Structure 1
Amino acid sequence: MIPFDQFRQESLKWYQDPESMHNIVGSKIAYTKKQIQQMYEWQNEHGLLYYIEYNNGEHPQIIGDVWLADDDYAIVIDQAFRNRHIGRRVTKYFIYKAKKLGRNYITVSEIFNWNKASQKMFTSLNFYPFKENKDSWSYRRRLKTDTI
């Protein structure tokens, strides 16, 4: 993973793909470069923002981004690299990181009802739906156990 340092051209592919955007924001709109830059600036000010780097042995590639805030977690993986458990490995790392930061929970504010792959990945990592929204659910994973 690479800490966010600047806008990278690779992100245009993820945020201008209709299927990805349908899963991210609920509609098949495309973000402009300016919108992506503004999103990244905001996320970087309000949490930990990283690019996901994949090294297939030939040359490393930026294939997604991940953001952890106090009250939200978001991950985007390039379509060509999905179903390889990359998102799962990255999320496991951020579960560890959130525990080290002393957090009680990791919350995913919105997973749309049609995004079965994300639902499956998060529930396999012990996230559970806890808040129903219009077309989605918020998911959460408890990081600390209560001690009495």
Structure 2
Amino acid sequence: MRIRVVSSKEEINSLGSGEKIIHLAFRPSNKDIFALVQACPNVKAIHIPSSYIRTISNSTKMFLDMQGISLLEGDVWGHRKDINEYSEIKPEVFDRMQELKGEGLSESSVLDRLGRETRLSKDLLKFLIKEKEKTKRTK
């Protein structure tokens, strides 16, 4: 799975309509979030650093909720935008997720372990688990 990393508001207009998960590496305004949703009608989640997520207005959160778009808190560690505009979530993360669930661990234990092992945020991991379960049900 790929997360598109967006470093500035100027990049929003260049996004493709097929983007599913977007990480905003800048402090977005309400206008930026609305522009992002218009540019990417298929977006399922917007991932924002902890320090920036506190500045998102309640009306924008409500708008995203009404659109069925998850607002996720966290960072993409070790990603270099100058090399690749996408941050990859390797298939091994999903395999490990299944392995831990198979061991009978609770969801919170799985999130804790995966968070330590992968340095992915709990919000993002929770979203990935939910999306994986949705795709299983539709198959």
Q: TM-score, normalised by structure 2?
A: 0.31
Normalization by structure 1: what TM-score? 0.30
The structure with the largest helix share of the pair is 2
